[in-house]
Structure 1
Amino acid sequence: MPTNPATVPRTLTGLRWPVEPAQGGWYTAAEHEAVREMLAACDDWRTGWKNTAPVADFEEAFATHTGANYAVTFNSGGTALEMVLRHLDLQPGDEVVSCAINFVGPHLAVIGQGGRLVLTEPDPVTLNLDPADAERVLSERTRAILLTHWNGAVADIRPFLDLAHNHPHPVHGPPVVIVDAARACGGRTPTGAPVGAEGWATVFSFESKKLMTTFGQGGMVTTQDRALAENLRRLRTYGGRTQWGVNQMLSAMQAAVGIVQLERLDEMNTARIARAHERTAHLAEIEQLTLPPTVHDQTHLYYRHNLLVPEAWAGSGRDALMETLAAEHKVGSIVNDPVTYLSHDLIRAHTTGQHCPRAEQLAARLLCPCLHPRMSEHDEAAICGAIRQATATVAETYDAS
């Protein structure tokens, strides 16, 4: 199994479909009109871009949409998570538990804020954090459980709230549950609650590839905790004259566009879900591929459409399929995501001695061919045909052996 798995095909020249879409949420005339109105409102030397009303309106609308008491904007989801962790004032030895299959950002945030990152295994179906394995590593040093709604598959928060309640820290009480919803904005948990309503803090990203975007960057934290919300507002504005802080504000223009994107979020997510379900149906007869679970009620938003090759193909067979898709069919794909301690040197050094064999095996089987709801029906049919043909080509080698 490779120790440093490739995240994209090695053959990138001449791709007809990229390894992943560069834009998730898309803009309409409504967003363009919001930009024109905000430009006119701020293009005055007396006021400039200091208008904070759109930011407050965006936060209020987002809190209402998610069922949270508070919503606090940031200039990115990454800085938002950093500040949530900073609020915990992690001390040497304080542990934060997170799934080994993940984007590197959350794990780097834990390390950057002084926590000890403790990695655990994913659920074999959703690849979200496995509650049973999380319980295995909880200790009296655990300060937080960092749960990711991985690739849009919305996790059930309740088991982790129960784990936290049953394993209190001797000083700080139950560990907090922090939810990374960068890829699940607009989803619903299995309880029917909007993503952002459950857990101590939920972090959203509005980066370009995300389900909604505010000019390619932006973030939000939702919480029911007033003290956290108030401190986050200080941290993003130079400490509010009383403590350390830095400028991490979202701009008025971004907020104005965010309000429109939020109004259209369900529409965009519905289109994405429909396209993902269509692809799953079109690929259902390929016996070598494990397809993502087909669920409804916005409990899976399909930020990526994950495929798993057979265990016997793990690593080299998966890479061969990605290469065949790229070289012979011009279809890009990505491993979204590899195990972080295998793909990032700092995380590897920080987690020396930790080993998640299930995560490594699943990640070595994983690929995500390009999918977007705005692809034409012709493009989607071509990609499904390419996946079918490329899988058959690779099967001639790996199934025969």
Structure 2
Amino acid sequence: MPTDATTVPRSRAPRRWPDEPAQGGWYTDAETAAAQKMLDESRSWRTGWRNKDLVAAFEEAFAQATRARHAIAFNGGGTALEMVLRCLEMQPGDQVVSCALNFVGTHLPVIHQGGDLVLAEPDPLTLNLDPADVEHRLTDRTRAIVVTHWNGLAADLRPFLDLAERHPHPHHGPPVVIVDAARAAGGITPAGLPVGAEGWATIFSFETKKLMTTFGQGGMVTTGDARLADRLRRLRTYGLSQEWGTNQQLSKIQAAVGLVQLGRLDEMNAARIARAHERTRLLHGIEHLTLPPELDGGRHLYYRYNLLVPASWAGAGRDALMELLADRYGLGSIINDPVTYTGHDYIRAHTDGQACPRAEALAARLLCPCLHPQIPADEEREICDAIRRATDEIARTFATT
């Protein structure tokens, strides 16, 4: 049985740079002032922490930023995806196709909402879902295609929308395209549209490590479907006396900070892109590393900076490189992400018999060294020098074995 983990076993020696940043979008005095204002306004027992108008203002601003008709705030991206899938009201045998190279939080809600998870291969260049492989896996039971803008690289949704039209479900019509944009807020798709403007529904996360964050948790769904938007608003608020629902609301202090973070999102993303491009320049020419594709126009936000080692190093060589970076140079890295069925027992049990060899092969070559725009420029040069030196050493080791 294949196994993989997000990080490989390494010594616990102190590191100058962690496996991954603990926070993605960073805070300024503006976020502090917004939070303080909410704290001051909520001191009275008559006031409390609920403010529908402020949450609605955040939703409206987010809808405008993504050119979506509707934006619905949730207390997390995972719960948001869960509720979107619930709106499909899947029956036994209904299928949902998604890339095998993914975060487990994309696949667990599919299973929990009664869908049969059908795993597909990633594109070898972008590591996003491969539309050619998806086409082979569509059946007359497919209800949805979940496309992830993986690690901040915006996928082209047009091939999936076309596939859905050409492979309708006999009772429900074309499968819906659901977009996981947890790592891509503020991005631009190859169609030139903001991430969030295309597809039946797009899910965003504002968890602490994401490109913008609302005190460590939060989420949003954008959609052009008014019926879906209305249903989601009911589901997040105990059904609004009409149907089953639960409490998945965002607080007003999160909305206040979210408005500030949204206003600064382009600035933060630009800094991240600039830092990633600088890393690519500094790492250029390393024979044994495949660097991430460098795309213009905000199509790649570099939520993580993906490196691929040679196929001959897969597994053991990649692990040795991660260990060397951590132990000798103090540079943490992460496998972000392994194939979900290799590292999660529940997903493995519900996808028994499925295999995506291309995804497994790519995951065995993948590592993501720590990257953040706020790492000082001189430290970034040290990081790149460490990657170059460590890669050269592992290459010599493999040349003699």
- State the TM-score, normalized to the length of structure 1: 0.99
Match of residue 147 from structure 1 = 147
CA–CA distance in structure 1, aligned partners of residues 349 and 4 of structure 2: 17
- 2:2 alignment partner AA: T
Deviations 1:260-281 (A, max 9, x none): 0000000000000000000011
User: Matched residues in 1 for 2:199 and 2:222: separation?
Assistant: 9
Task: Specify the alignment match of 1:223 in structure 2.
Answer: 223
Shift of 1:399: 3.0
1:43 alignment partner, SS class: coil
Supply the AA of the counterpart residue of 2:366. L
Q: Is the 8 A contact 1:322 1:333 kept in 2?
A: yes
Q: Partner residue of 1:384? A: 384
| Cα separation, 2, equivalents of 1:206 and 1:138 | 31
Matches within 5 A, 1:196-345: 196-345=196-345
User: 1:172 matched to which residue of 2?
Assistant: 172
* CA–CA distance in structure 1, aligned partners of residues 126 and 50 of structure 2: 43
For 1:8, the equivalent position in structure 2 comes to 7
RMSD: 0.8
Do residues 28 (structure 1) and 28 (structure 2) align?
yes
Q: Give, in whole Å, the separation in 1 of the partners of 2:241 and 2:375.
A: 49
Counterpart of 2:299, as a letter, is T
Deviation track 1:121-142 (CA, whole Å, cap 9, x = no partner) reads 0000010000000000000000
CA contact (8 A) 1:146 1:178 kept: yes
| Structure 2: 5+ residue stretches without partners | none
Deviates more, 1:39-48 or 1:310-319: 39-48
Aligned to 1:107: 107
3-state SS of paired residue (1:33): helix
Output the CA distance in 2 between the equivalents of 1:169 and 1:261. Answer: 40
SS in 1 for 2:193: coil
The offset of 1:6, in angstroms, is: 3.1
Residue of structure 1 equivalent to 2:396? 396
> Which AA in structure 2 matches 1:87?
C
User: Does the CA contact (< 8 Å) of 1:201 and 1:223 recur in 2?
Assistant: yes
What is the SS of the residue equivalent to 1:254?
A: helix
Distance 2:64 2:227 in 1: 19
CA distance in 1, matches of 2:360, 2:300: 23
SS at match of 1:196: coil
1:352-386 deviations in whole A, cap 9, x for unaligned?
A: 11010000000000000000000001210111011
For 1:278-323, what per-residue CA distance to the aligned partner results, in whole angstroms no more than 9, with x for missing partners?
Answer: 0011101101000000111000000000000000000000000000
Q: Distance in 2 between matches of 1:337 and 1:84?
A: 23
Match of 1:50 in 2: 50
What is the rounded CA distance, in whole Å, between the counterparts of 1:352 and 1:83 in structure 2? 25
Q: Shift of the alpha carbon at 1:250?
A: 0.4
Question: 1:67 corresponds to which residue?
Answer: 67
- Give distance in 1, aligned partners of 2:11 and 2:366: 18
- Determine helix, strand or coil for the equivalent of 2:159: helix
Amino acid at match of 1:260: V
With over 3 angstroms needed to count, the CA separation of the structure-2 counterparts of 1:63 and 1:283, relative to structure 1, is same
Structure 1 unaligned spans of 5+:
none
Shift of residue 42 of structure 1? 2.0
Per-residue deviation at 1:48? 1.3
Amino acid at match of 1:255: A
SS in 1 for 2:37: helix
Amino acid paired to 1:134: V
Give the letter for the 1:151 counterpart.
N
- The separation in 1 between residues aligned to 2:187 and 2:362, in whole angstroms, is 24
- Code of the aligned partner of 2:251: S
* Counterpart Cα distance in 2 of 1:176 and 1:43: 45
Deviation at 1:89, TM superposition (A): 0.4
Cα offset, 1:38, TM superposition? 1.3
Q: Deviations over 1:233-258 (max 9, x none)?
A: 00000011011000000000000000
Q: Distance in 1 between matches of 2:109 and 2:400?
A: 45
Output the CA distance in 2 between the equivalents of 1:164 and 1:57: 34
Q: Which amino acid aligns with 2:394?
A: V
Identity across aligned pairs (percent)?
A: 68
Query: Residue 138 of structure 1 aligns with which residue?
Result: 138
- Within 1, Cα distance between the matches of 2:124 and 2:95? 24
Secondary structure in structure 1 of the residue aligned to 2:203: strand
**Offset, 1:12:** 3.2
Letter of the structure 1 residue corresponding to residue 288 of structure 2:
Q
Amino acid at match of 1:163: L
SS where residue 294 of structure 2 aligns? coil
Query: 2: distance between equivalents of 1:264 and 1:399?
Result: 47
Q: How many residues align?
A: 400
Aligned equivalents of 1:251 and 1:324: distance in 2? 43
Structure 2: distance between partners of 1:240 and 1:262: 28
**Distance in 1, Cα, partners of 2:394 & 2:312:** 12
Shift in Å at residue 109 of structure 1? Answer: 0.7
Q: What are the equivalent positions in structure 2 for 1:77-88 lying under 5 Å apart?
A: 77-88=77-88
Secondary structure of 2:380's counterpart equals: helix
SS of structure 2 residue aligned to 1:258? helix
Aligned-residue offset at 1:327: 0.8
Contact preservation (8 Å) 1:42, 1:51? no
